[in-house]
Amino acid sequence: MKFKIWAVCCLAILGMISSGMAQENADTANRATTASISPPAPPGNLEPKDTPDDNGHSITLGWSLSPDDGAGNKSVLGYKIFRSTNRDTGFVERGVSPSGSKEYVDMGGAIPEENDYMPNDTDYYYKLRAVTSDSTVYSETGVIGPTQTTGEWFNRGRTLVLVFVLIFAMVTVFFIRKARSGAELFVRRLAGIEAVDEAIGRATEMGKPILYVLGLGTASDIATIASFSILGRVAKKIAEYQTGLIVPCYDAIVMTVAQETVRTAFLDAGRPDAYNEDMVYYVTSNQFGYVAAVNGTMLRQMPATNIYMGTFFAESLLLAETGALAGSVQIAGTDQVAQIPFFVVACDYTLIGEELYAASAYLSREPILLGSLKAQDYGKAAVIALSIIGIIAAQFNWTWLVELFKSAN
């Protein structure tokens, strides 16, 4: 019996030892298998360059793929980029690029307070490491550098934009000078503009005020600037006819400019005493709060004419339908393409898009303003011609011409 117990114990101990040995052999075999991956071939032709057309603080690295990229046992799974300001020491990992990629943009902060500050005009050294599935197995390029970052003084990607802006400016100046010298410039009829005089006359006869809405834009929006010009000319006529004027404003800066515009218009008409600062007032900078206030004004004061000129959004139909309810004649103009259909449906006259910008030229018939209108027409003709050339170029695969018009960054 004792012998049997000893035998079982010995067998158990032997079993434990052999399983342990088997595990150790397996581990050794695994380690042997892992250690058997040899380092991959390194990537080549590492070239760091200052990223062009920017404010500096960025270097673009290019390289050719390792021959073991995505292939075989020692497959390269990615590339780690290391940078230092010293050729020999202090290399810090900057990022990882996946296998198959041949480019990386190393970008840093522009101000010293930032964590990742990368000052310009400083020597940077780079090396690239091709990594495998085993983090201890890799290969590196040599250290390349120094490369410095600099901020460029001209963004070459925007050259075409500059060329067109300069050409357009020169054409505008040409037509303005031509108009100043007395040349007759033809511009087509705009029903909405011609209706303004009639609408002001109607308001005077009915003894009701005119409501002028400058829209929801800020004073720096082009549509609001165009609206100021129209307001000035409308206010001058109103001063001459001694009709009432109500100008509720959405933006406080717009209010101050509109007050000045209307005051000047009354001065020009020789009726400075008729100007009341409360004609132009601030309401709120909340979209629907503004609409509610203007709608209330329309329904209480029942203006004979509503003029909407500027930037409008969802409230356009609310304003126009309420004006229709109040029985007012309505003239609208906006550069917001989405709102044009609502104004077309609900107003008597609508100025579409650039007709808003042309309105001040129409109302004043000043030669220099008509001259700039002519320049716009030629600009549009040029765009049409370029579109036709572009269609032909696309048909004949003249890619160099198509590439020329790709959007600049």
Of 278 and 403, which CB lies nearer to other proteins in the complex structure? 278
Of 211 and 340, which CB lies nearer to other proteins in the complex structure? 340
Q: How far is the CB of 279 from other proteins (least distance, A)?
A: 10
Q: Name the DSSP class of 109.
A: B
Which residues have C-beta within 8 Å of that of residue 100, sequence separation ≥ 6? 65, 69, 70
Q: How far is the CB of 208 from other proteins (least distance, A)?
A: 13
β-sheet bridge partners, residue 83: 92, 126
Of 128 and 373, which CB lies nearer to other proteins in the complex structure? 373
Q: How far is the CB of 66 from other proteins (least distance, A)?
A: 25
Of 44 and 270, which CB lies nearer to other proteins in the complex structure? 270
Which residues have C-beta within 8 Å of that of residue 371, sequence separation ≥ 6? 172, 175, 176, 177, 178, 179, 180, 185
Question: Alpha-carbon torsion 69, 73, 79, 85, what sign?
Answer: negative
Q: How far is the CB of 114 from other proteins (least distance, A)?
A: 7
Q: Where are the alpha helices (DSSP H) in 44-181?
A: 159-180
> What phi, psi does 153 have (nearest 5°)?
-100, -5
Q: How far is the CB of 407 from other proteins (least distance, A)?
A: 6
3-state secondary structure of 358: helix
String of DSSP letters for 149-192: ----SS-GGGHHHHHHHHHHHHHHHHHHHHHHTT--------HH
Q: How many CB atoms are located within 10 Å of the residue 235 CB?
A: 26
Of 63 and 312, which CB lies nearer to other proteins in the complex structure? 312
Q: How far is the CB of 78 from other proteins (least distance, A)?
A: 15
CB 110 within 8 A of CB 124: no
Of 2 and 189, which CB lies nearer to other proteins in the complex structure? 189
Q: How far is the CB of 132 from other proteins (least distance, A)?
A: 21
3-state secondary structure of 209: coil
Identity of the amino acid at 164: F
41-to-102, 143, 191, 338 alpha-carbon distances in Å: 15, 16, 75, 58
Of 245 and 346, which CB lies nearer to other proteins in the complex structure? 346
3-state secondary structure of 132: coil
Q: How far is the CB of 252 from other proteins (least distance, A)?
A: 3
Of 68 and 251, which CB lies nearer to other proteins in the complex structure? 251
